[in-house]
Amino acid sequence: MSADSLSPQIIARVLSEIRGLVKCSRRTDPEIEYIESEDNSISEVHCYIYGPADTPYSGAKFRVKLVLQNDYPSAPPRGYFLTKIFHPNVSNNGDICVNTLKRDWKPEVTL
């Protein structure tokens, strides 16, 4: 997504949400770690998600990306696991299939 195709309000929102992810990354025991992009693009947001304690995923680190569309936040981002994971809501190609990113999306939801 080109910043040229977004309103200043949407650019400000996305940057604010990215700052929130960066803040989470700085915690002593983060659940999410933001990965800064090499090209400073705001169209793809990359993070590591850490497996929750007391689950089969405990201690695991999964790379994910969210691809923002031109009509974000009216339309949800597309979510992908880049790290291979076996989960009923993740397809073989890593596509995240949850209602929050599909039919239940609301513009108030953040990254």
Catalytic (active-site) positions: 97
Task: Report d(CA 43, CA 77) in Å as an integer.
Answer: 9
CB distance 80 to 96 below 8 Å: yes
> How far from 100 is each of 46, 51, 52, 76, 109, CA to CA, in Å?
18, 19, 20, 8, 9
- DSSP 8-state assignment for residue 27: S
The Cα–Cα gap between 69 and 23 comes to 24
Q: Would you say the C-alpha torsion 73, 78, 83, 89 has a positive or negative sign?
A: positive
